[in-house]
Structure 1
Amino acid sequence: MNVLHPVQPEQKTMRVAIVHEWLEHYAGSERVLEQLLIMYPQAALFAIVDFMPGAERVMLGGRRVQTTFIQNLPLARKYFRYYLGLMPIAIEQLDLSGFDLVISSNHAVAKGVITGPDQVHVCYVHLPMRYAWDMQAAYLRQGRMEGGARGLYARWLLHRLRNWDVRSAAGVDAFVANSSYIARRIMKVYRREATVVYPPVDIARFDGPEQPRDDAYVVISRMVPYKRIDLVVEAFRRMPQRILHVAGDGPERERIRKVAGDAPNIVFRGRVSDAEVLAMMRRARAFVFAGEEDFGIAMVEAQACGTPLIVFGRGGACDIVRGEDAPDGPTGVLFAQQDADAIIDAVERFEGMQDRITPQACRINARRFSREAFRQAMFRVVERAMQDVHARGMQAAE
């Protein structure tokens, strides 16, 4: 694969603004931001708030981040999410009038920046504002806001956010989705087509000599409800002849331990270091996951280690796994239902075809999600968007 130079010659004089949601920690969406800043080193950076710790700011390249008025509101450092109702107003106050290209990195309100007819606005969507759309009921339930005055206010606020979310989509010239699943959600919510550009994964970090494989299956994840670690644990409790290592921590930890009971084949590793995660993935017989992810970077990382996947066949997993009938060779097994029986069946199917899944096939599959692949794809999207906006401008002038 040819690696694009981060700066194209014609882009050196182009005025670029990158709008990120908020800067708090280096996580999934910040991986995308990091690559956008490499692509456009001349870009100015905007965010609703910037509370990123000093140790994690290397990716910003010393840039000054221009923030909104929410940065200075009371208790914003700890509770800025509570100002969600003000974020649409805040994002609209950013002055981007001096830029030729605006790229927004959106999972809440970043796409709502105001641009002019001669400016190009490309929006990379990590996910639409799901707590205002199809996840509203779960969000209200989790926050114990199903009834009462707080519940009424939350429903009113989310209704207003939905209206604003749809209206602000009209200001985007080109939508980019991080998976086919998110592209379908963009079509459902905004009635707009989106180009799929997979998030960047540091594939090189997982390169290394092939490790001897253990008999153990692994699940590595934060223990929160939607990850469905409980289903994986229940399935392996019913398969005492198979070993499962569980790594991670979170609010579901004790409940998941109770699901395991005293099963000797299930080993809880707790929170582990990055080096331990890498070692576990390289040695695992397979990586098992039962949650529905918008994309699923951990699955790509497992593939980069040469490790097969046994995962729930919805969401981003469908873009990542090459299934049992893949013409280029399988890299894992998908199961159709979120229940223990489906996981047990998938493990049995995997063991029946394990010899067909090679570490080399898994590693080759992972290369589709590299940082270089991301930059190449984004350059193409931006170039096409600029050509389209220019063509519309020429038509309007005739």
Structure 2
Amino acid sequence: MTALPSHDPHRPARVALVHDWLTGMRGGERVLEVLCELYPEASLHTLIHVHGSVSPAIERHQPRTSFLQQVPDVARIYRHLLPLYPSAIDRMDVGRPDLIISTSHCAAKSVPTPAGTRHLCYCFTPVRYAWDQFDAYFGPARVGRARSAVMRRLLNRFARWDQRTSVRPDRYLAISQYVARRITRYYNRRSAVVYPPADTAYFTPGSGTKDRFALVVSALVPYKRVDVAVQACRQVGVPLKVVGQGPEARALTRLGGGGVEFLGALADAEVRDLYRQAAVVLLPGEEDFGLVPVEAQACGTPVVALGRGGATETVVDGVTGALTGDGVDAFAVGLRRVLDHPPGVEACRAQADIFSTERFVRELTHAVTDLLQASPEAVRW
């Protein structure tokens, strides 16, 4: 591997990676996995680490945790510790590296930056539930009036800290144009867009024929709007398979009746097989980016997605799938259109190749080089 650029050209840069928490392999951890492979000597810091929950590439970095790691049963209750996140991050000591790369959708971007260190934040999104999506997580209809009022006060305080500490990174990279606009709106900071890496070498078209079923691969949480996919499939009369777990599972099972098969969490190889077999993959919620539609297209499968957020940057309406309006009826119209006139495998695959890991590494490395070599007056964006 080529030595990283640094202030001292005679030695590689010392790098510290900072991630919100390590409790499972989701999209953010896929990005971190690539960074761990790119920077094998980097230290890795996180609020909470559930041992064995992430890939060997991440585990090999022996993550260093905050004081929250000592909380009893932390693996189960870590999301309830949000009021303590600011204190834990403010106390996090990453040493004296040349470069911090934070991968953040919550608190990691706020890690203190030591003097002489440069800080690049790869931002998945400004904290959704502290800013514009409070009701989807903690609105009265979801958690009751009393708890919603308490969470509103806590998250207002968190948002003030989040905004105040948004000055700590020298530069931001956004995962999509959609997130770049959110960074400007909530942090008043500019950013460059570097799309996340999809493993297009692993997710490839299969040799078999498509089966007539729709597929959802998603956490079963409210903002993912899996209920829209369930109802649209029932309206169109197409079977639906759902991969994923979450608190909405019981309600979605009742809603789906006999036309929906809930498969729970599956291994990557099983998900790839389903991508290859499905007639269409559904993305009914508003995503910041969304790796699922890219992985599906890499397997030659079209996507029906809500026409807002990151999907507008990954799915080409009428070419690799359909972008729809809000609501079940609009989503059902898009689903019928794709089932009746399915896009070709080649078009889907070509679109997915835009988001390859090789492209991500190239663009990320360029951003790191540019930051480390910038003159002091040109460091901050």
TM-score, normalization: structure 1?
0.85
Question: How much is the aligned-residue C-alpha RMSD, in angstroms?
Answer: 2.5
Give the distance between the partners of 1:57 and 1:268, measured in 2 at CA: 28
SS of residue in 1 equivalent to 2:162: helix
Give the distance between the partners of 2:195 and 2:236, measured in 1 at CA: 35
Match of 2:131 among 133, 139, 146: 133
Give the distance between the partners of 1:51 and 1:163, measured in 2 at CA: 29
Bigger drift between 20-29 and 219-228 goes to 219-228
CA contact (8 A) 2:253 2:260 kept: no
Alignment match, 2:106: 108
User: How far is 1:391 from its partner?
Assistant: 4.4
Matches for 1:58-137 after TM superposition, within 5 Å: 58-60=56-58, 62-137=60-135
* One-letter amino acid of the structure 2 residue matched with residue 169 of structure 1: S
Alignment match, 1:172: 169
Matches for 1:129-208 after TM superposition, within 5 Å: 129-141=127-139, 144=143, 146-147=145-146, 151-207=148-204
Alignment match, 1:340: 328
The answer to whether 1:374 aligns with 2:365 is no
Bigger drift between 89-98 and 195-204 goes to 89-98
Alpha-carbon distance change, 207 to 391 in structure 1, aligned in 2, over 3 angstroms: same
SS of residue in 2 equivalent to 1:333: strand
Alignment match, 1:300: 294
Give the distance between the partners of 1:138 and 1:61, measured in 2 at CA: 33
* One-letter amino acid of the structure 1 residue matched with residue 251 of structure 2: R
Moved over 6 A (4+): none
Alpha-carbon distance change, 90 to 238 in structure 1, aligned in 2, over 3 angstroms: closer
The answer to whether 1:273 aligns with 2:259 is no
Alignment match, 1:52: 51
Q: How many residues align?
A: 372
Alignment match, 1:30: 29
Residue segments in structure 2 that go unaligned for 5+ positions in a row: none
The answer to whether 1:256 aligns with 2:252 is yes
CA contact (8 A) 1:25 1:52 kept: no
Alignment match, 2:308: 314
Give the distance between the partners of 1:101 and 1:254, measured in 2 at CA: 45
CA contact (8 A) 2:3 2:12 kept: no
CA contact (8 A) 1:321 1:333 kept: yes
Structure with bigger gyration radius: 1
Alpha-carbon distance change, 171 to 254 in structure 1, aligned in 2, over 3 angstroms: closer
Give the distance between the partners of 1:235 and 1:78, measured in 2 at CA: 33
CA contact (8 A) 2:217 2:242 kept: yes
Question: Deviations 1:309-329 (Å, cap 9, x if unpaired)?
Answer: 1111111111111223xxxxx
Alpha-carbon distance change, 221 to 171 in structure 1, aligned in 2, over 3 angstroms: closer
Alpha-carbon distance change, 291 to 102 in structure 1, aligned in 2, over 3 angstroms: same
CA contact (8 A) 1:34 1:59 kept: yes
Question: Deviations 1:23-65 (Å, cap 9, x if unpaired)?
Answer: 2222221111111112212211111222232x74512263232
SS of residue in 2 equivalent to 1:23: coil
SS of residue in 2 equivalent to 1:369: coil
User: How far is 1:125 from its partner?
Assistant: 1.1
Matches for 1:340-359 after TM superposition, within 5 Å: 340-351=328-339, 353-354=341-342, 357-359=343-345
Alignment match, 1:327: none
Give the distance between the partners of 2:108 and 2:71, measured in 1 at CA: 19
CA contact (8 A) 1:118 1:389 kept: no
Bigger drift between 274-283 and 178-187 goes to 274-283
CA contact (8 A) 1:105 1:124 kept: yes
Question: Deviations 1:170-200 (Å, cap 9, x if unpaired)?
Answer: 1111111112221111111001112112222
Alignment match, 2:215: 218
Alpha-carbon distance change, 143 to 69 in structure 1, aligned in 2, over 3 angstroms: farther
User: How far is 1:366 from its partner?
Assistant: 1.0
Give the distance between the partners of 1:225 and 1:286, measured in 2 at CA: 22
CA contact (8 A) 2:230 2:240 kept: no
TM-score, normalization: structure 2?
0.88
Alignment match, 1:239: 236
Alpha-carbon distance change, 74 to 361 in structure 1, aligned in 2, over 3 angstroms: same
Match of 2:372 among 366, 381, 386: 386
Give the distance between the partners of 2:136 and 2:224, measured in 1 at CA: 14
CA contact (8 A) 1:247 1:272 kept: no
Bigger drift between 187-196 and 93-102 goes to 93-102
* One-letter amino acid of the structure 2 residue matched with residue 314 of structure 1: R
The answer to whether 1:284 aligns with 2:278 is yes
Question: Deviations 1:280-336 (Å, cap 9, x if unpaired)?
Answer: 221222222211122211111110100111111111111111223xxxxx2111112
CA contact (8 A) 2:137 2:222 kept: no
Question: Deviations 1:102-133 (Å, cap 9, x if unpaired)?
Answer: 11111111111112453211001112111111
Alpha-carbon distance change, 92 to 195 in structure 1, aligned in 2, over 3 angstroms: same
* One-letter amino acid of the structure 2 residue matched with residue 218 of structure 1: L
User: How far is 1:247 from its partner?
Assistant: 2.2
Residue segments in structure 1 that go unaligned for 5+ positions in a row: 325-329, 394-398
CA contact (8 A) 1:173 1:389 kept: no
Alpha-carbon distance change, 366 to 159 in structure 1, aligned in 2, over 3 angstroms: same
Alignment match, 1:396: none
Give the distance between the partners of 2:133 and 2:207, measured in 1 at CA: 41
Alignment match, 2:348: 362
Alpha-carbon distance change, 22 to 365 in structure 1, aligned in 2, over 3 angstroms: same
User: How many percent of aligned residue pairs carry the same amino acid?
Assistant: 36
